[in-house]
């Protein structure tokens, strides 16, 4: 399967997050950087989300966590990417699982991509916003570096809802000073 164009950007974002910097540097130059010396242990990335993370109806090796791990390995980085994606999950469901997901050993980095099912179900945006902020707070309290991936929803939910929904993700990322990617599938 062809690696989507977003994956090098995700890899650069992750490397910037784990090895220093604010995540707001030129990500393409990060991809051309020489990998750091191998760590004494394998670093771990926890991909938290819904069906997009789980790779719903895809072979396991085609999910984005599997492809990301392959890209990192091919680039000389020793990472294990664990998928904590559950099809159908809402932000409330992921929040309910977060403490369990953060049981030892802690990941070095977490990628949070959640909210599509909140939007598809027309849940209140403020509720989703609060759940995502609480997930990020739990990660931060454990010292886990975090990146947030935005979500897009169908336009048939109404222009105001869609606009407010999609503006939520960059706002959360900015206010939490974490790296942000607008959408996994673009």
Q: H-helix or E-strand containing 7?
A: helix 6-19
pLDDT at 186: 66
pLDDT at 79: 86
| pLDDT per residue as tens digits for the range 128-163 | 999 999 999 999 999 999 999 999 888 888 999 999
| Residue 36: inside a domain | no
Give the separation between CA 83 and CA 78, rounded to whole angstroms.
16
**What does 111-125 look like in DSSP terms, one character per residue?**
EEE--HHHHHTT--H
| Residue 29: inside a domain | no
CATH code for the domain of 112: 3.40.50.1110
Domain range for 90 is: 6-19+42-181
pLDDT at 185: 65
Mean pLDDT per 10-residue interval, the chain, length 186 residues: 50 55 40 56 85 71 78 85 84 94 89 92 95 97 94 89 94 94 76
How many residues are there in the chain? 186
Give the separation between CA 175 and CA 84, rounded to whole angstroms.
24
Q: H-helix or E-strand containing 148?
A: strand 145-149
pLDDT at 1: 40
pLDDT at 26: 39
pLDDT at 55: 63
Burial of 149 (0-12, 13-18, 19+ CB in 10 A): buried
| Residue 34: inside a domain | no
| Residue 33: inside a domain | no
Number of domains forming the structure of the chain: 1
| Residue 26: inside a domain | no
Tokens representing residue 40 in the block: 């004494």
pLDDT at 22: 39
C-alpha angle 51-176-169 in degrees, rounded to nearest 5? 40
For the entire predicted model, the pTM comes to: 0.79
pLDDT at 65: 82
| Residue 37: inside a domain | no
| Residue 107: inside a domain | yes
| Residue 68: inside a domain | yes
């Amino acid at each position: 399967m062809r690696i989507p164009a977003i994956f090098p950007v995700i890899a650069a974002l992750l490397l910037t997050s784990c090895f220093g910097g604010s995540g707001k540097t030129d990500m393409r130059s990060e991809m051309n950087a020489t990998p750091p010396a191998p760590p004494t242990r394998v670093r771990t990335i926890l991909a938290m989300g819904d069906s997009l993370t789980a790779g719903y109806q895809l072979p396991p090796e085609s999910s984005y966590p599997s492809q990301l791990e392959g890209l990192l390995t091919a680039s000389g980085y020793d990472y294990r990417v664990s998928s904590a994606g559950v099809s159908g999950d809402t932000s409330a469901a992921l929040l309910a699982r977060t403490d369990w997901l953060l049981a030892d050993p802690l990941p070095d980095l977490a990628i949070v991509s959640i909210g599509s099912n909140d939007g598809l179900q027309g849940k209140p945006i403020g509720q989703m916003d609060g759940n995502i902020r609480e997930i990020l707070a739990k990660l931060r309290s454990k010292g886990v570096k975090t990146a947030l991936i935005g979500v897009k929803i169908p336009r048939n939910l109404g222009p105001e809802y869609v606009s407010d929904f999609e503006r939520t993700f960059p706002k959360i990322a900015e206010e939490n000073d974490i790296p942000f990617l607008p959408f996994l599938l673009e």
